[in-house]
A and B are shown apart, each in its own frame.
Chain A
Amino acid sequence: MQIRIATILALLIGLLAGGNTASADQYELTFSNGSSWRGDDGALVDVVYNEQGIEQSMTGVIKKIDGRPGFQIVFIRGQIAGREATKGIFAPDIVSMKAAGDAKDSVATAKTPVTKPADADRKRPGGQPSKPAVTTTGEDGYLKSSKPGVFFMPWEGPVGIEARHDEIKAIIEEADKYGPGQIIVLQINSPGGLVIEGDKIHETLKDVKKRHRVVAWVKEAISAAAFASLHCDEIYFMQVGAMGSAVMFAGQTAISGDELNAWLEKFSEVAEIGGRDPIIARCMVTRTAMASYDKDSETGKVTIYPDMRGEFDISDDKNVLTLNVDNAMDCGYADGVANTTDELAVLLDLPEWHEVNDSGRKIHERWQRNVKQCRERIPRLNAEMQRNPEKAITLLKELLGWYNRCYPVLVYEMGLPPDPDPLRRQIEELRRQRARQRN
């Protein structure tokens, strides 16, 4: 009996803890006058709302927000008629909502609701907590952060499997909500990967550079990851950083002839898009390309040659190029060295490191978690299939589901067929067999 009670208690505690976790959710509300509010459960807010035609106000803590967009109910706990109570306010009735007691920082009009600081806000280097940022909606309809900051996203693992185009696209979409001119920082740590992913990345990065400032912060950018990095407006290295070795190959063999020429052209184009000399980029693509440079000792101007005539060697005709901090900085391929976000903030000309929100980290974590689950689940599915053939239909349906959830791991890493149709047919066939057996 004691054990049962303990179990029930543990479950209840788990449920309560689960309730707290939910409080980390961030909400976005748009009000009838065009203003909006973004924030989390637990935010202390001043809210003005209409009730039976009368404008009322209250201050309280957001307990939760329920309902579908446009029809949400905001539950706020605060003082109502002299006592502590929770009030549900229909979102369309809200005139304005802003962080409590922060009228100066929030603009006084209905256009300027405020939020809690983003989770990603960090302390200043000296350990002093930085002033919280507020997000408002501007007259142009874009969100505005009160502090200059970045959209930061780690981009890690094999390209096309863990480091994908989809996540880059997602962080761009987040930055787009704030209008043009945002800073997107991709923290790159990847050994390279699939060419097909490189093509998609190329199109997206080429396009986004027209409206945002895109920054690569390189720990490891090998092969396809070097290709992605070269698109960026700025490339900063960590002291341990390495970038290059972008030979394209199939099976055991490097591409050659027209295919290689096309790849060299594309790589050169990408380097130029990023404002860098294509001669050095070509050395990352093929062993026989060469690069050296002279550097004016007074002006620091670098002149790059496609052979070894320069005073400083970059790459001879026996090696594919991988740059490290020293040579990347000296020849001007890297714009700076930053080992920490605070150091990076200085290089980006920001007063301090501030992430406008943590969506990039969440986007990254979500996909990484998905990949991890897939890697763990698929071998189990396989084993279960062998142990319990009678469950084959259910298990195959789950496998089909994984095609939607985590296609790259299934196809490129585990070697499953790219087209799941045979799987669908197999399920149908099994159903027919079962039906025949029942009859």
Chain B
Amino acid sequence: MSLKKSISMAGIAIAGFAVSLPGVANASDNRVPVVYVVPMSGQMGTDIHPSIYDKVIEDALKVNPDVIVYQLKSADIDNNFYLAGNDDRREFGMAKIGEYRDLARALHQKLDARQVMWVEDSVGLGSLLALSWPEMYMSDGARLWGLARVSMMAAGWSDPDVASKMLNAWVGMGNGFLQLGGHPLEIGWAMMRPEYALSASFKGRKVTWTNDTAGQWVVDSNDERVANFSASLAEDMGLSEGTVENLDDLMFLLGYREYDEVESGKDMVKKYVEDWRRTFDRCKSWYADAQQKLGWASGDDAIRYLGAAKTDLEKILRACKQYPAVAARWQQDYGMSILQLELQIEGIKDQIGDMRRGNRGSGRRGGNSGRGGGGGRGL
């Protein structure tokens, strides 16, 4: 679906500035530019999952837009009105940093269009994604917070050298995102590590960041908290190119007085989120049914109920394989991996087989195996 949009009257009134701004789209080009919006909304690790963006990339390649806007709205660690029905603390910490690094790289490399990050709000690992693009805009009141999460990944090591190894490994990987976005390491250190200060000095348009309080503008002097950016602070410091209220605003600041919006990416992501969440809800009820049927599986109806329970579990297995988000939540909530589900199903199959062979009550059970600890010295 394509929507043709024109900037509002207020926008037109000041649009005259646009043509004189450097880097602004050329008004003499009669073609209306096409913008493709890619939502990144909800929980990292489930709603914002690389699996759906592979499909979005394919679609965007077909559309071949002039501008791609990543609309980021993810605040993992506090309550947000827009996540009211969705702000599930059980989904915290499910994001895998390597997967998002690959996602950011793929979006950069596979899509040729001008790419813009629009942060509507970001608290947590989403902020790494936000900082992976050099051209960033923020909504009024938006936050670019929560990268203390990265250093928390290294918590739990008592030996100072090992703790430092883990911490700096994670922070180094986190800083890879900032480097992709062309941002200096100093910002990453201050945003991920509480003990690092952050200040900036300006020379003309050039901003120099240092991890101390000696700069002209001190962003963070607290050695117990990481540096965070509000939309206004980010704009003042030149991290954000501007503050916008909506797509019209954003497109205007990008120099486009009118544009066509292709909504297929939005639709795909929305459908994906609705689908995986609905599927996960179904899984919960299939599992409750399976448990009930397993409880009833005795006497003459044993095989029938075991078979029915197996069917329910197979549906869950299919769902987990179709949606990595369902698999991740299943593991989180029920402590079962895909493999463990498969083993349980195989156990039931064996049980049914035994019963059919007249070997009822043989007492065999499906077993799950755990992983043992590794040996050897770590490096």
Contact = CB atoms under 8 A, between A and B. Distances in A.
A241 B176 CA distance: 6
Given A249-B165, A414-B371, A192 B378 contact: yes
A379 B369 contact: yes
B177 to A, nearest CB: 7
Contact of B171 (A240, A254, A322, A380): A322
Given A191-B169, A239-B180, A287 B343 contact: no
Given A242-B176, A249-B161, A322-B171, A195 B377 contact: yes
Contacts of B365: 386-387
B366 A383 contact: yes
Interface stretch (A44-52, A218-226, A428-436): A218-226
Contacts of B301: none
A248 B172 contact: no
A318 interface: yes
Contacts of A386: 364-367
A415 interface: yes
B78 to A, nearest CB: 28
Contact of B376 (A195, A320, A380, A387): A195
A248 B378 contact: yes
A339 B108 contact: yes
Nearest to A324: B175
A192 B170 CA distance: 12
A200 B25 CA distance: 57
Contacts of B339: 376, 379
Given A287-B160, A339-B109, A242 B350 contact: no
Q: Give chain A's interface residue range (CB within 8 Å of chain B).
A: 35 or more
Contact of B379 (A223, A239, A320): A223
B379 A224 contact: yes
B101 interface: yes
B328 to A, nearest CB: 18
B358 interface: no
B350 A382 contact: no
A388 B351 CA distance: 11
Contact of A249 (B108, B171, B378): B378
For the residues of A in contact with B, the DSSP-based class is: mixed
Nearest to B370: A379
A358 B173 CA distance: 29
Contact of B164 (A238, A242, A318): A318
Interface string A363-384: 0000000000000101110110
Interface string A298-325: 0000000000000000000011111111
For the residues of B in contact with A, the DSSP-based class is: helix
Interface in B62-86: none
Given A320-B164, A320-B168, A413-B371, A196 B157 contact: no
Interface string B162-196: 10111111011101110110001100000000000
A195 B162 CA distance: 15
B364 A387 contact: yes
A422 to B, nearest CB: 15
A3 interface: no
A224 B169 CA distance: 12
Interface string A168-180: 0000000000000
A198 interface: yes
Contacts of A252: 157-159, 162
B379 A240 contact: no
Interface string B122-141: 00000000000000000000
A227 B379 CA distance: 9
B215 interface: no
A383 B367 contact: yes
Interface in A198-223: 198, 219-220, 222-223
A20 interface: no
Contact of A415 (B171, B343, B350, B375): B375
A12 B164 CA distance: 59
A249 B379 CA distance: 6
A394 interface: no
B93 to A, nearest CB: 18
A415 B372 contact: yes
A380 B346 contact: yes
Contacts of B368: 379, 383
Contacts of B377: 194-196, 248-250
Contact of B168 (A253, A319, A411, A412): A319
B324 interface: no
Contacts of B165: 223, 245-247, 249, 254, 320
A194 to B, nearest CB: 5
A240 B372 contact: no
A125 interface: no
Most A-side CB within 10 Å, residue of B109, B157, B372: B372
A138 to B, nearest CB: 37
Given A248-B377, A387-B350, A223 B162 contact: no
B361 interface: no
B303 interface: no
B105 interface: yes
Most A-side CB within 10 Å, residue of B109, B179, B372: B179
Nearest to B179: A325
A377 to B, nearest CB: 10
Interface string B324-350: 000000000000000100110011001
Given A240-B180, A252-B158, A411-B375, A383 B169 contact: no
- The 3 nearest A-B residue pairs measured at CB: A415-B372, A322-B172, A240-B176
Interface of A: 159-160, 189, 191-196, 198, 219-220, 222-224, 227, 238-250, 252-254, 286-287, 318-327, 339-340, 376, 378-380, 382-383, 386-388, 411-416, 418
Interface of B: 98, 101, 104-105, 108-109, 157-162, 164-169, 171-173, 175-177, 179-180, 184-185, 339, 342-343, 346-347, 350, 364-369, 371-379
Given A244-B172, A324-B185, A379-B369, 10 more contacts: A192-B378, A194-B376, A220-B98, A222-B173, A239-B179, A254-B165, A322-B169, A324-B175, A382-B367, A383-B368
11 contacts: A192-B378, A220-B176, A223-B165, A241-B176, A246-B165, A248-B378, A249-B159, A250-B378, A286-B161, A320-B161, A379-B369
